[in-house]
A and B are shown apart, each in its own frame.
Chain A
Amino acid sequence: MRALIWKFLVRDWRGGELSILLMALVLAVSVVVGISGFVSRLQGALLSESARFLAADAVIVSRTEVPEEWIEEAASVGLQVSASLGFPSMAVADIERMALVSVKAVSAGYPLKGNLQWSVDPYGTVQSDGAIPVPGEVWLAPRLFALLEVASGETITVGERPLVIAGAVRGEPDATTAVFGFGPRLLMHVDDIPSTGVVQPGSRVEYRLLLGGSADALEIFLEWLKPKLGQGQRVDSVATSQPRIGDTLDRAQGFLLLAGSLAVVLATAAILLASRRFGERHTQYVAILKSLGAQSYEISRLYGSCLFVIGTVSTLLGCILGWAIQGGFIWALGSLLPATPGPAGWEPVVMGVVTALVCLFFFAWPPLSRLADASPLHVLRAEVDVARMQRVQDLLLGGAAIIGLMWWYSGSLTVTFSVLAGLLLVTVLGVIVGRTLLAGGHSIGGFAGSIWRVALSGLQRRRRSNSLQMVIFGVAIMLMLMLTVVRSSLISQWQAQLPPDVPNHFLLNLAPEEREQLQDFFTQRAVQTERLYPMTRGRIMEVNGAALPRWEEAESETAPRQREANFTWSDVQPAGNELIAGEWWPQDAVEPWVSVEEEFARDIGASLGDQLTVRIGADSFTVTVRNIRRVDWQSMRPNFFMVFPRSVLAAYPGMYMTSFLLTPDRKNLLNDLVRELPTVTIIELDMVIAETRAVVDQVARALELVLAVILLAGALVLVAGVQSSLDGRLKEAALLRALGARRELLLGTLWIEFLVLGGLAGGLAGVGAEAATYALQTRVFDMVWTPTPLMWWLGPVIGAAVIGCLGVWSCRHVVRTPPVVLLREV
């Protein structure tokens, strides 16, 4: 038997039968290994990219010095550590020239992730050589050179310590997370801190212990650390310290995992088609073997062994090819990748092997195992029914296995079920369309010309296989449409959050009498600015007469409590704020009303119509909640928890704030501004925004790459799908040619059949993609769903065009080859 199996394999391979199944399996495994390997390396790259924002993998932030024991423990589990601290202070050049600065003192090893960029002169050549200021020296933000009127080599004093200016800080990896006060940066060595004498018990200092190392070591250490964290101590990750970047990376990761899951579905579709074709082509083969006396168990053993060999060979080839694919991607796209890709690990290979096993066991084996039941009578009468190739229970079991694979791969049931919803819709609609439209094709065709009649009756006759093919085409097109839409909406949402003109500086503490001066300053220099918002500090004391507990007295972290906040007044609804309850007040309203931000309302336990007792300074008054607002805190505009009508706050003194846009080349304007208005505070967010924008751009590029890979895989499934239906069509076309059908008739019928199939599949795909996109956008990506009418017509058009061209191209030799040759071949 073993010898026979090998002979069978060799002969079948030579006959081209096995190669179809083998190719599908290799395709499936290589697509899964390739995409998951690429995705996992990309994820690694994004993860290390995100670590850059902390200058570490994690950071312990503390208001007091980090205990020596923690540092020793971190080192003992194999983590790299680097201590830094920061505080606002004055840098003094001489009695005339001094400035409020944000001091950051770093130690050897800083940064653990990312690069510190510096230059000798304020705007000189940037270096990134791993250097940090040595003890006795400082590096200053370029703007400080102008503000203090100093140059490299001169000396400034911090506290009691004179320090030599050795360079300019040009880029800090953790600029967005390590913010100490509002002044420009002064970077120095941590060893110089004691001699400055500025850090005393009770000083406003933030200590940061940077941790770097493997995820496992980090987990062990943080587990050890957690119970030891006291008040004012926390552990920062990118997600907690940089919600916008964390959110971007989260969504990107969600997208990548979704893409990987889709690769599994596409691969399965390819196998399903190939094994069906293999089974169909082998029915006659088995009938002959049985007429020659082969028994069922021999047939089962024969095909089982063949499948085992094919499975092993194709898994091996698929893994190698998949590995090469992801390596090729990384090699070809190296310069476009967001960061140095990490290792892919073994998971992609395991994923590929498991996918192969599931595909073989649930999709390839059932039709082959059923071959053993093929009646030998088939050799006498071809019309004798053979066992159905694919049974509903096989498909259900296989479906369950695929759901399992997708779940495993995406790590999210919501992703899995969102995609599944689309798949189910396509399948159900596909079956209905198959039963009705395709079945009715004959009668429609009866009224049409001869080409249409032949084509539509062909569709009707093969309606069972056509339905399956339509569903698989539909699924492939749906997945491609869906991924394109999700990617486009993710990217456009990211870009919308950070438009090019988003303000990148905040200005606070502007006295009412300075307003005009500021307006003039900005107007003269053509700086684009937001409106001025009045700002008064106040506290919410009571809700409906019930006193709120103080922060530290609240029963739990979520219980209502007193809150202090900046209040503003406005006659109009602030731009970018959405009313979720109540309504805005009319212009010049004098009633004691207030508009409360959604989460703030939740914190103090207030809802629409409640009476709030507010205290500003020594005064208390009561206002009614007129509306509740939702605020986009990432909008980079001044936003407020509490907004009152102008008349309510008019009596209370307050300062003003605004935000404005300053391009990097105009940063020195800030020096003029603080000289002209010395009491204002400026928060510089330009670096944060630039870094965030860079991440968004890189992530968007990564998504484009993955989308391209999936589109390629989808196209391969479409090719496999067209191939799988060729036998029947070729036979029929050969007969028609033998009966004298003209080339035009054959070509015409082929075009019509494939265009109709593709168009219908594309239509199904549009519907399924819309459903899946709705689920994904609302449940997975936390986005607002908007229908994509483009998909509704793009689906059928793409489907018809791609399937039409592929189909006719695959059958092209039917119209070129003499009928007698064709008839022999089929």
Chain B
Amino acid sequence: MIKVSQLLKTVPTADGDLDILRGINLEIAEGTSAAIVGASGSGKSTLLGLLAGMDVASGGEITLDGHRLSQLDEDQRARLRAEKIGFVFQSFQLLPALTARENVMLPLELSGKKQADDIADRLLEQVGLSDRLDHYPTTLSGGEQQRVAIARAFARQPKILFADEPTGNLDTRTGERVIDLLFQLNASEGTTLVLVTHDDRLARRCDVRFGMDAGELCILNA
């Protein structure tokens, strides 16, 4: 499903070029879950951004469900995201002007799906927020916001779900509930899950664990 070979990411800084990713290789099979763990600044989020096609690599290749990302432009990558990818962010990234239901409807509307509101209602019910449909993000707790974000991520039934520190902004108990939900949905929808975390307990629930250190990746278990 995901294949990465010799991936490089270099950014220019005042002191010269800085290598953030130094020749990453990895493979993640369809329907499995993978965790990338590592300290802050190790390059985890950069890798995730590249995998999701939100950033452009300095070298190497990413193949996503048969699509070579280096051969796609921004708009083609956007289409790929629309068709195959869901995303859960550490800071939830809900649109404050939209209600919970409208936030979930947004990706469906972008791809012109009919009955977006029904799908959104069903998903919000699944994440336990059926009584919060018309609430705005500022009136929801952190855990509730992340559950809305998860509902939004699954709205288009993505083949791959990327999650960037999904519990990073939540307390342990809420974090666990959110993770349970994420894995539940992942199992029921048959999605490939890639998450970035430094929460070891969360990482251990994944099928594969990768360790990230100073821009280099190693397999922690298989």
The answer to whether B54 has its CB under 8 Å from any CB of chain A is: yes
Which of A285, A292, A824, A825 meets B110, CB within 8 Å? A292
Determine if A293 and B48 form an interchain contact, defined as CB atoms under 8 angstroms apart.
no
Determine if A380 and B110 form an interchain contact, defined as CB atoms under 8 angstroms apart.
no
Q: A12–B83 Cα gap in the complex (Å)?
A: 26
The answer to whether B102 has its CB under 8 Å from any CB of chain A is: yes
Q: A290–B89 Cα gap in the complex (Å)?
A: 14
Q: A379–B79 Cα gap in the complex (Å)?
A: 17
What A residues does B82 contact at CB under 8 A?
292-295
Which of A16, A291, A293 meets B83, CB within 8 Å? A293
Binary per-residue interface labels of chain A (515-534) against chain B in the complex, 1 for a CB within 8 Å, 0 otherwise: 00000000000000000000
Q: Supply 17 further A-B pairs (C-beta < 8 A) apart from A11-B102, A380-B45.
A: A3-B109, A12-B97, A14-B97, A15-B97, A288-B93, A291-B52, A292-B87, A292-B106, A292-B107, A292-B152, A293-B85, A293-B156, A297-B75, A376-B54, A376-B78, A380-B164, A825-B138
Which of A1, A288, A297 meets B95, CB within 8 Å? A288
The answer to whether B55 has its CB under 8 Å from any CB of chain A is: yes
Nearest chain B residue, comparing its CB with the CB of A17: B97
The answer to whether B81 has its CB under 8 Å from any CB of chain A is: yes
The answer to whether B111 has its CB under 8 Å from any CB of chain A is: yes
The answer to whether A355 has its CB under 8 Å from any CB of chain B is: no
Determine if B75 and A296 form an interchain contact, defined as CB atoms under 8 angstroms apart.
yes
Binary per-residue interface labels of chain B (46-74) against chain A in the complex, 1 for a CB within 8 Å, 0 otherwise: 00110010110000000000000000001
The answer to whether A381 has its CB under 8 Å from any CB of chain B is: yes
The answer to whether B98 has its CB under 8 Å from any CB of chain A is: yes
Determine if A291 and B87 form an interchain contact, defined as CB atoms under 8 angstroms apart.
yes
Determine if A296 and B45 form an interchain contact, defined as CB atoms under 8 angstroms apart.
no
Determine if B89 and A293 form an interchain contact, defined as CB atoms under 8 angstroms apart.
no
Q: A14–B99 Cα gap in the complex (Å)?
A: 11
Determine if B74 and A296 form an interchain contact, defined as CB atoms under 8 angstroms apart.
yes
A-B CB proximity, top 3 nearest: A293-B82, A15-B97, A293-B81
User: Would you list which residues of chain A between 285 and 320 have a CB under 8 Å from chain B?
Assistant: 285, 288-298
The answer to whether B128 has its CB under 8 Å from any CB of chain A is: no
The answer to whether A4 has its CB under 8 Å from any CB of chain B is: yes
Nearest chain A residue, comparing its CB with the CB of B98: A11
- Among B49, B83, B102, the one with the most A-chain Cβ atoms within 10 Å of its Cβ is B49
Determine if A11 and B97 form an interchain contact, defined as CB atoms under 8 angstroms apart.
yes
Which of B45, B52, B78 meets A381, CB within 8 Å? B45
The answer to whether A97 has its CB under 8 Å from any CB of chain B is: no
Which of B78, B83, B96 meets A294, CB within 8 Å? B78
The answer to whether A667 has its CB under 8 Å from any CB of chain B is: no
Q: A97–B63 Cα gap in the complex (Å)?
A: 119
- Among A3, A11, A293, the one with the most B-chain Cβ atoms within 10 Å of its Cβ is A293
Contacts from B to A (Cβ < 8 Å): 45, 48-49, 52, 54-55, 74-75, 78-83, 85, 87, 89, 93, 95-98, 102, 106-107, 109-112, 138, 152, 156, 164
Binary per-residue interface labels of chain A (266-302) against chain B in the complex, 1 for a CB within 8 Å, 0 otherwise: 0000000000000000001100111111111110000
Which of A14, A17, A290, A293 meets B111, CB within 8 Å? A293
Nearest chain B residue, comparing its CB with the CB of A7: B109
10 A/B residue pairs, CB under 8 Å, sorted by A: A11-B97, A291-B52, A291-B93, A292-B82, A292-B152, A293-B81, A294-B82, A379-B87, A381-B45, A825-B138
What B residues does A4 contact at CB under 8 A?
109-110
Determine if A380 and B97 form an interchain contact, defined as CB atoms under 8 angstroms apart.
no
What B residues does A381 contact at CB under 8 A?
45, 49
The answer to whether A418 has its CB under 8 Å from any CB of chain B is: no
Binary per-residue interface labels of chain A (750-780) against chain B in the complex, 1 for a CB within 8 Å, 0 otherwise: 0000000000000000000000000000000
Q: A681–B145 Cα gap in the complex (Å)?
A: 97
Determine if B102 and A291 form an interchain contact, defined as CB atoms under 8 angstroms apart.
no
- Among B48, B89, B102, B110, the one with the most A-chain Cβ atoms within 10 Å of its Cβ is B110
Q: A377–B112 Cα gap in the complex (Å)?
A: 24
Binary per-residue interface labels of chain A (7-46) against chain B in the complex, 1 for a CB within 8 Å, 0 otherwise: 1000110111100000000000000000000000000000
Q: A288–B89 Cα gap in the complex (Å)?
A: 10
What B residues does A380 contact at CB under 8 A?
45, 48-49, 54, 89, 164
The answer to whether A375 has its CB under 8 Å from any CB of chain B is: yes
Contacts from A to B (Cβ < 8 Å): 1, 3-4, 7, 11-12, 14-17, 284-285, 288-298, 375-377, 379-381, 824-825
What B residues does A284 contact at CB under 8 A?
93
What B residues does A17 contact at CB under 8 A?
97
Q: A298–B49 Cα gap in the complex (Å)?
A: 21
Determine if A293 and B98 form an interchain contact, defined as CB atoms under 8 angstroms apart.
no
What A residues does B80 contact at CB under 8 A?
293
Q: A376–B74 Cα gap in the complex (Å)?
A: 10
What A residues does B93 contact at CB under 8 A?
284, 288, 291, 379
Q: A112–B83 Cα gap in the complex (Å)?
A: 79
Determine if B55 and A375 form an interchain contact, defined as CB atoms under 8 angstroms apart.
yes
Report B133 CB to chain A, min CB distance, Å: 15
Report A285 CB to chain B, min CB distance, Å: 6
Q: A293–B84 Cα gap in the complex (Å)?
A: 9
Report A370 CB to chain B, min CB distance, Å: 14
Q: A376–B85 Cα gap in the complex (Å)?
A: 13
Nearest chain A residue, comparing its CB with the CB of B102: A11
Determine if A291 and B75 form an interchain contact, defined as CB atoms under 8 angstroms apart.
no
Nearest chain A residue, comparing its CB with the CB of B164: A380
What A residues does B45 contact at CB under 8 A?
380-381
Determine if B75 and A293 form an interchain contact, defined as CB atoms under 8 angstroms apart.
no
Which of B89, B110, B112, B164 meets A289, CB within 8 Å? B110
Report A32 CB to chain B, min CB distance, Å: 30
> A12-B97, A14-B97, A292-B106 in contact; A377/B54 too (CB < 8 A)?
yes
Determine if A824 and B138 form an interchain contact, defined as CB atoms under 8 angstroms apart.
yes
What A residues does B54 contact at CB under 8 A?
290-291, 375-377, 379-380
> A288-B93, A380-B48, A380-B164 in contact; A295/B78 too (CB < 8 A)?
yes
Report A555 CB to chain B, min CB distance, Å: 77
Determine if B110 and A377 form an interchain contact, defined as CB atoms under 8 angstroms apart.
no
What B residues does A11 contact at CB under 8 A?
97-98, 102
Determine if B78 and A293 form an interchain contact, defined as CB atoms under 8 angstroms apart.
yes
What A residues does B152 contact at CB under 8 A?
292
What A residues does B107 contact at CB under 8 A?
292-293
What B residues does A295 contact at CB under 8 A?
75, 78-79, 82
Determine if A377 and B55 form an interchain contact, defined as CB atoms under 8 angstroms apart.
yes
Q: A598–B89 Cα gap in the complex (Å)?
A: 83
Q: A379–B97 Cα gap in the complex (Å)?
A: 17
Report A18 CB to chain B, min CB distance, Å: 9
Which of A1, A289, A297, A298 meets B106, CB within 8 Å? A289
What A residues does B111 contact at CB under 8 A?
293
What B residues does A15 contact at CB under 8 A?
96-98
Determine if A294 and B110 form an interchain contact, defined as CB atoms under 8 angstroms apart.
yes
Nearest chain A residue, comparing its CB with the CB of B108: A292
Report A356 CB to chain B, min CB distance, Å: 25
Report B100 CB to chain A, min CB distance, Å: 13
Report A731 CB to chain B, min CB distance, Å: 13
- Among B78, B106, B138, the one with the most A-chain Cβ atoms within 10 Å of its Cβ is B78
Report A75 CB to chain B, min CB distance, Å: 67
What A residues does B49 contact at CB under 8 A?
377, 380-381
> A14-B97, A292-B106, A294-B110 in contact; A379/B89 too (CB < 8 A)?
yes
- Among B52, B54, B81, the one with the most A-chain Cβ atoms within 10 Å of its Cβ is B54
Determine if A290 and B97 form an interchain contact, defined as CB atoms under 8 angstroms apart.
no
Report B4 CB to chain A, min CB distance, Å: 17
Nearest chain A residue, comparing its CB with the CB of B110: A294
Q: A292–B112 Cα gap in the complex (Å)?
A: 13
What A residues does B156 contact at CB under 8 A?
293
Nearest chain B residue, comparing its CB with the CB of A299: B78
What A residues does B85 contact at CB under 8 A?
293
Q: A295–B82 Cα gap in the complex (Å)?
A: 9
Q: A379–B54 Cα gap in the complex (Å)?
A: 10
Report B52 CB to chain A, min CB distance, Å: 8
What A residues does B81 contact at CB under 8 A?
290-293, 376
> A11-B102, A380-B89 in contact; A293/B97 too (CB < 8 A)?
no
Determine if A298 and B98 form an interchain contact, defined as CB atoms under 8 angstroms apart.
no
Report B74 CB to chain A, min CB distance, Å: 7
